[in-house]
Each structure stands twice: as C-alpha cells, then as structure tokens.
Amino acid sequence: MSEQDDLYQRAAEEYGAALGRLARGYEADPDKRRDLLQEVHLALWRSLDGFRAQCSLRTWVYRVAHNTAITWITRQKRGRPQMLVSLEELDATPAPPDAGRRLALDRLTQLVQRLEPRDREVILAYLEGMDAAAIGELTGLSARNVATKIHRIKNLLARYFHEGAGHAG
C-alpha cells in the first residue's frame, strides 16, 4: 500500500464518523447523502497525495470534506434552489415550539441544513467539539469572527434546546 493509501485508511478510521455527520449536515436526502459521502472520501484520498503535514491531519480532513460539501451544495442549488440563511437571520427568527425534545436531533439537523455554507461549516465544527482556534484554522475566519459566530451559535442552540450557553470552544 502506498503512503497515500495508508494515510487514507488512518483518516477514514479516525474521522469516518465525523465525515458521516458532516454529510448529514450538508445533505438531507439519504441517497444523495451517500453519494456526497463517497465524493468526500474520494476527494480525501486524492488530496492525501499532496499531504506533507502542512497542518494536522484532522484540519486537512475537515478542509477537504467541507470544501467538497460546499461544492456539492452549490451544484445541488443550481438544480433545486433553496433558501439558505445566515446565523444572524436565524437568530432573529423565533425558535420553533418545543416538541418535547423527542425530535431534538432532527431539529438540530434541520437547523444546520438551513444555514448558508460559511455558517454551516462553523456550526458543524463547533458541534464536533472543535475549539475557536481550530475553527479559525479550518475556515480561515479571523479569531474575532469565529468568536462572534460561536457566541451566536450558543445563543441559537440555547434558544432551540433550552440549554445554558455554558461550555464553548
């Protein structure tokens, strides 16, 4: 096996679940999600040929995955336009009535899927447990921008899930 193949196996084992969640954040349709996930894996494998530890493997994997997914939703939007909103816009709209928490995960997924790509990437990274510095490295956003977005995300999630905005990155 080549070094590229070895790296891919390592990345897929370590971050495979995160990639699956990321695909869910970007694509609601299960069949298309499978296609997206496969595209992410292919892009990852192809990209690892150029991996020279310029950043951590995790950052590399997430960058490739988000960049692939953003390209994917841009392509999907051309054929199926949908209204995506920013964190600011979502924060300004009332939270839906509490459905007794039973469908909390569905609500969270739908919330993520409504966001425009830039904000979706930040919220997905936040949900994956990345801290502000890692989110900045992944997205290229300034520390101030990341801090503002995380603050909004916490408020938004607190409103949607009645959760104190306690911990953060």
Partner 1 sequence: MPDDLYPSADRYPSADPRNLWQGQEVEKILLTAAEIRTRATHFERRVHRRNLREYVAGAVVIVLFSMQLGRVQGWRLAPALLSILATIYVMFQLHRRASARPLPADAGLKTSIEFHRGELERQRDAARGVWRWYLLPFLPGAVAVLFVAGIDRGINARLIASGAFSLLVFVGICALNEKGARRLDSKIKELKAMETENA
**For residues 81-100, which are near partner 1 according to CB under 8 A?**
none
**For residues 93-132, which are near partner 1 according to CB under 8 A?**
101-106, 108, 117-118, 121, 126-129
Within 10 angstroms of residue 119's Cβ, the number of other Cβ atoms is 22
**Identified binder of partner 1 from the candidate list 5, 28, 88, 155, rule CB under 8 A:** 5
Which residue stretch of 63-71, 80-88, 89-97 sits at the interface with partner 1 (rule: CB under 8 A)? 63-71
Q: Does 56 bind partner 1 (CB under 8 A)?
A: no
> Which among 4, 33, 167, 8 is positioned nearest to 112, based on CA atoms?
33
Q: Does 41 bind partner 1 (CB under 8 A)?
A: yes
**Identified binder of partner 1 from the candidate list 71, 82, 93, 110, rule CB under 8 A:** 71
Full DSSP string of 53-115? SSS-HHHHHHHHHHHHHHHHHHHHHHHS----B-HHHHHTSPPPPP-TTTTHHHHHHHHHHHB
Q: Does 10 bind partner 1 (CB under 8 A)?
A: no
